[in-house]
């Protein structure tokens, strides 16, 4: 049971222990609330005996009031213990689950994120963990606690009278059979409902991300209609789920309550025949009025319990996904990047890199150029193991990077991608991300090298200016220069620049190129660029076409070949001279 609980709901060892303690305290709580019923039975039976003169003494009601106060205190203590051991433990487990998921996501390969979108992962980290948190705090303890307390009561009552005990609980297996059948029936509907909600979440995020385009697009109304259709689908699937679960819940509830009627009917028959006394009959009536409450709560919480299994499976999917692994003790001393017959595909049967071999040497700037979609960015990401190489090898210092821990490997890289990611924080802190323990002087020097000083000094709070979500208050070129400043600050031996100057004006592009040339000493620099003007001074230029190395050499050598590189350069020069005439 413990292993099943851990695997099904992705619990930590501490979480399993907390759930077991919660089940125990819930069981004690369910049993404790029957004690007042038993005390009431004792008092009533005493009064009846006195009324019928079976006993001459009147029950001491003050004594029983004292007992009742003690019982009330005990119930309160057990309730507080149950609350602490369930809710507090559930919150702790939820916190640990979120941290564990964040750590796991950090170690997943980028291939995983190609299959998922942001809203899906966010939903798992927030919504699914919250659902599981509620289940741990309420459904699990109630479910198993109700079952265990009922079994305890069944065994205890069988010593008094097996016929009445059987009548009281004969409907229990049937009710739980309906409960289990409802899970199997509603599970597929629950998944459809979940997927419909994710579709709405994706649609809303896409709408907000593209708000400017929506205002300018003639198809904005069409998009709105599609989004409304997704919302209506959520309503339909939610209603279907509620109806499906509701039918089974009502059926299970009514079947369960048949036991009370059976106790009355069977008990009356046994009382008439003299098989039982009036006191035994009253005891079973009192207990029957209370014992079904925890079981009824279980049935009414069935929908939430079923929903939690879907959330748990989504969490489990992330936890079971194999992370990228490798040696954490690898030390690199030389930084040539060797691509040895590398082939790669994002989708099976559709190779985007085909048998690529070249060396990006330490102390040199190697440029990757070529038409869009030729594999330039893919090669740069393979170099730092964002994806694993399935065919061929990538070596650094003679070591296969597929065997190096990704985080260990990335310590040797400074990376600037075309899509800059900034945080809603100060410029100072956004640059400092490049090096956690950087000094002020180092941060200012990195900003100076990246040509950030001019625009930073014009801001109202300088380096302490809050730049908004993803740097929305900055221009594209300013955002890109902050990203470049991070790379300068880290000062790693290998530098990857993917369209690093794409958003810069010609003047700043020239300044950045000069800064890079000062940074390159004894380092390996891999540059990806569309504008060939920016790579003319590179030590080696690799020209790619359809995922293969088409030609390579220096600018002068490639111009003499009169091949693809020269053709692209001439086209760019020709387009630079275009003008629009009124």
pLDDT tens for each residue of the chain, 582 residues long: 566 666 666 676 666 777 777 777 777 777 777 777 666 666 666 666 656 555 556 556 677 677 778 777 877 787 777 777 777 777 777 777 788 888 888 888 776 776 666 667 777 777 777 777 767 766 677 777 777 777 777 777 777 788 888 887 787 778 777 777 766 666 666 667 777 777 777 777 777 666 666 666 666 677 777 777 777 777 777 777 777 777 777 777 777 778 778 888 888 888 888 887 777 777 777 777 777 777 777 676 666 666 677 777 777 778 788 888 888 888 888 889 999 999 998 877 788 899 999 999 998 889 998 888 888 888 988 998 888 888 999 999 989 999 998 888 988 998 887 777 888 889 999 999 888 888 999 999 888 888 888 888 888 888 898 988 777 788 777 888 888 888 888 888 998 888 766 656 666 666 666 666 766 777 898 988 877 777 888 889 999 988 889 998 888 888 888 888 888 888 877 765 554 444
pLDDT for position 500: 66
CA dihedral 95, 97, 102, 103 (to 10 degrees): 110
| Sheet arrangement for strand 540-545 | 413-416, 494-498, 524-528, 365-369, 540-545, 548-553
The one-character DSSP state at 538 is -
- Tell me how crowded residue 302 is: count the other CB atoms within 10 A of its CB: 22
Q: Which domains does the chain have, with CATH numbers?
A: 2-320 (1.20.1560.10), 337-576 (3.40.50.300)
Burial class of residue 99, CB neighbours in 10 A (0-12, 13-18, 19+): exposed
pLDDT for position 219: 66
Name the 3-class secondary structure at 505: coil
| Sheet arrangement for strand 399-400 | 350-360, 337-347, 391-396, 399-400
Distance CA 527, CA 323 (A): 28
What is the 3-state secondary structure of 279-344? HHHHHHHHHHHHHHHHHHHHHHCHHHHHHHHHHHHHHHHHHHCCCCCCECCCCCCCCCEEEEEEEE
Does an H or E element contain 494, and which? strand 494-498
Give which of 121, 91, 120, 119 is closest to 105, Cα–Cα.
Answer: 121
Does an H or E element contain 84, and which? none
β-pair partners for 367: 527, 541
pLDDT for position 400: 93
pLDDT for position 357: 93
pLDDT for position 504: 63
pLDDT for position 507: 67
Strand spans (E) along 469-511:
494-498
The one-character DSSP state at 87 is I
Residue 484: partners with Cβ closer than 8 Å, 6 or more residues away: 416, 450, 497, 500, 512, 515
Distance CA 459, CA 457 (A): 6
Give which of 248, 321, 418 is closest to 101, Cα–Cα.
Answer: 321
Does an H or E element contain 400, and which? strand 399-400
Does an H or E element contain 366, and which? strand 365-369
Radius of gyration (Cα) for the chain, nearest Å? Answer: 35
Length of the chain: 582
Distance CA 27, CA 151 (A): 10
Distance CA 95, CA 130 (A): 10
Residue 525 · residue 497 · CB < 8 Å: yes
Burial class of residue 460, CB neighbours in 10 A (0-12, 13-18, 19+): exposed
């Amino acid at each position: 049971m413990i292993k099943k609980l851990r695997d099904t709901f992705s619990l930590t060892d501490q979480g399993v222990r907390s759930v077991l303690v919660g089940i125990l305290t819930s069981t004690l709580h369910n049993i404790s609330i029957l004690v007042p019923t038993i005390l009431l039975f004792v008092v009533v039976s005493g009064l009846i005996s006195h009324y019928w003169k079976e006993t001459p003494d009147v029950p001491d009601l003050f004594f029983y009031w004292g007992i009742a106060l003690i019982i009330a205190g005990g119930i309160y203590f057990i309730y507080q213990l149950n609350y602490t051991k369930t809710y507090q433990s559930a919150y702790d487990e939820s916190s640990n689950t979120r941290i564990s998921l964040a750590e796991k996501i950090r170690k997943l390969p980028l291939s995983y994120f190609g299959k998922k979108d942001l809203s899906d992962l966010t939903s798992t980290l927030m919504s699914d963990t919250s659902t599981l948190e509620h289940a741990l705090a309420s459904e699990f303890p109630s479910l198993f606690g109700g079952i265990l307390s009922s079994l305890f009561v069944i065994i205890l009552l069988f010593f008094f009278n097996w016929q009445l005990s059987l009548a009281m609980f004969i409907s229990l297996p049937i009710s739980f059979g309906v409960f289990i059948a409802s899970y199997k029936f509603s599970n597929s509907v629950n998944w459809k409902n979940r997927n419909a909600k994710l579709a709405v979440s994706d649609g809303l995020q896409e709408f907000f991300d593209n708000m400017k385009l929506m205002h300018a697009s003639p198809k904005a109304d069409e998009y709105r209609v599609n989004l409304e259709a997704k919302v209506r689908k959520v309503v339909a699937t939610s209603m279907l789920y509620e109806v499906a679960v509701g039918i089974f819940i009502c059926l299970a509830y009514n079947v369960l309550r048949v036991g009370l009627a059976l106790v009355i009917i069977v008990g009356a028959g046994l009382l008439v025949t003299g098989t039982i006394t009036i006191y035994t009959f009253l005891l079973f009536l009192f207990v029957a009025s209370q014992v079904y409450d925890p079981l009824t709560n279980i049935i009414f919480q069935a929908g939430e319990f079923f929903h939690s299994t879907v959330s748990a499976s989504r969490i489990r999917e992330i936890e079971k996904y194999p992370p990228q692994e490798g040696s954490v003790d690898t030390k690199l001393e030389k930084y040539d990047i060797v691509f040895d017959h590398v082939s790669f595909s994002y989708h099976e049967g559709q190779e985007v890199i085909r048998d690529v071999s070249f060396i990006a040497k330490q102390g040199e700037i190697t440029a990757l150029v070529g038409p869009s979609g030729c594999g330039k960015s893919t090669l740069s990401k393979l170099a730092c193991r964002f994806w694993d190489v399935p065919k061929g090898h990538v070596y650094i210092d003679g070591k296969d990077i597929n065997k190096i821990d990704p985080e260990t490997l990335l310590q040797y890289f400074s990376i600037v991608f075309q899509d800059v990611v900034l945080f809603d924080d100060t410029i100072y802190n956004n640059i400092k991300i490049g090096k956690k323990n950087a000094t002020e002087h180092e941060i200012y020097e990195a900003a100076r090298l990246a040509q950030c000083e001019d625009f930073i000094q014009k801001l109202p709070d300088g380096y302490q200016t809050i730049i908004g979500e993803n740097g929305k208050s900055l221009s594209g070129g300013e955002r890109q220069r902050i990203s470049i400043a991070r790379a300068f600050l880290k000062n790693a031996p290998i530098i990857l620049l993917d369209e690093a100057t794409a958003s810069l004006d010609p003047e700043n592009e020239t300044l950045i190129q000069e800064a890079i040339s000062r940074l390159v000493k004894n380092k390996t620099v891999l540059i990806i660029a569309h504008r060939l003007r920016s790579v003319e001074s590179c030590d080696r230029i690799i020209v790619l076409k359809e995922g293969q190395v088409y030609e390579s050499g220096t600018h002068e050598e490639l111009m003499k070949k009169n091949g693809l590189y020269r053709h692209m350069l001439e086209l760019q020069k020709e387009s630079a001279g275009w003008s629009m005439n009124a």
